[in-house]
C-alpha cells in the first residue's frame, strides 16, 4: 500500500495558493482513478482506492503546512507503512514553473511542510517536487507561496496536475524516472516548455 500526501493549507482562503499545488495534484489523482469522496481522519482528508492495481491512500493534511508531519505520521503508523511507501507532493521554489522532479530523501530546502514530515517520520520518503518558480528575493518568498496563482498561470497548473494524475500509475509502481519523463512529455505536448 502507498500513502500519497499532497501538501497545502486547509480552507477556501488558501485553495489557489502556490503552496497548495500538492493538494491540487492529489485531488487530480483522486478524480483520474475514481477514488471515493475524501473523509476526515488522521488530522486530514483521506480517500482509499487503487492506482494501476496498487492500493493507495490519498491524504491532504488539514493541519497547517508547518504541522503536516502530524497527519502524515498518524496515517503512516496506522497503516504500518515504511518510508518507501510514503510519497509527498509539494510546491518547489527551486524548480521553474511547470517542471517536476522526483527524489527520495535529501534536504528540505526551507520547506516547512517537509521539515515537519521529516521531524515526524524521518527523511527517507519520496518527494514529487512541483515547480512554482522563485520570486527572486528571500524576503518575497512567504507572500509568494501564500499568494494565489495568477489567472494566466492556472493553465500550466491544471496541465501539470492532470499530467501527474494521468501518469500516477508509474509513480505507484515505483517507476519514478519514466513517470518524470512522461509528465515532461505531456507538458511539452500541451505547449508548456519544461
pLDDT in tens, 114-158: 999 999 999 999 999 999 999 999 999 999 999 999 999 999 999
Catalytic pick among 19, 45, 111, 167: 19
Within 8 A by CB and 6+ apart from 97, the residues are 131, 132, 133, 153, 156
- Spatial distance between the Cα atoms of 181 and 167, rounded to a whole number of angstroms: 10
- Spatial distance between the Cα atoms of 75 and 180, rounded to a whole number of angstroms: 26
The alpha carbons of the chain give a radius of gyration, in whole angstroms, of 15
- Spatial distance between the Cα atoms of 119 and 63, rounded to a whole number of angstroms: 15
Residue boundaries of the structural domains of the chain = 2-189
Point out which residues pair with 2 in neighbouring strands: 56
Q: Are 5 and 43 in contact (CB under 8 A)?
A: no
Question: Running along the chain, 194 residues long, what does each successive block of 10 average in pLDDT?
Answer: 97 97 98 98 98 98 96 97 95 96 90 96 96 95 96 96 98 97 96 77
- Spatial distance between the Cα atoms of 49 and 112, rounded to a whole number of angstroms: 28
For the domain 2-189, what is the CATH code? 3.40.50.1470
Residue 165 corresponds to which cell in the numbers above?
Answer: 494524475
Query: Known catalytic residue: 19?
Result: yes
Q: Please name the residue ranges forming H helices in the chain.
A: 21-32, 68-78, 112-121, 141-145, 154-166, 168-172, 176-189
Amino acid at each position: 500500500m502507498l500513502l500519497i500526501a499532497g501538501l497545502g493549507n486547509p480552507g477556501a482562503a488558501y485553495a489557489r495558493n502556490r503552496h497548495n499545488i500538492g493538494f491540487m495534484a492529489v485531488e487530480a489523482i483522486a478524480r483520474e482513478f475514481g477514488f471515493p469522496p475524501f473523509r476526515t481522519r488522521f488530522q486530514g482528508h483521506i480517500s482509499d482506492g487503487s492506482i494501476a492495481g496498487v492500493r493507495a491512500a490519498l491524504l491532504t493534511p488539514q493541519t497547517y503546512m508547518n504541522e503536516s508531519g502530524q497527519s502524515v505520521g498518524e496515517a503512516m503508523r496506522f497503516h504500518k507503512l515504511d518510508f518507501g511507501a510514503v510519497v509527498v507532493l509539494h510546491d518547489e521554489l527551486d524548480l521553474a514553473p511547470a517542471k517536476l522532479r522526483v527524489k527520495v530523501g535529501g534536504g528540505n530546502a526551507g520547506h516547512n511542510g517537509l521539515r515537519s514530515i521529516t521531524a515526524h517520520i524521518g527523511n527517507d520518503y519520496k518527494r514529487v517536487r512541483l515547480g512554482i518558480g522563485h520570486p527572486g528575493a528571500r524576503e518575497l518568498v512567504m507572500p509568494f507561496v501564500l499568494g494565489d496563482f495568477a489567472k494566466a498561470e492556472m493553465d500550466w497548473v491544471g496541465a501539470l496536475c492532470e499530467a501527474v494524475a494521468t501518469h500516477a500509475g508509474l509513480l505507484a509502481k515505483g517507476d519514478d524516472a519514466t513517470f518524470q519523463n512522461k509528465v515532461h512529455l505531456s507538458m511539452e505536448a500541451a505547449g508548456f516548455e519544461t
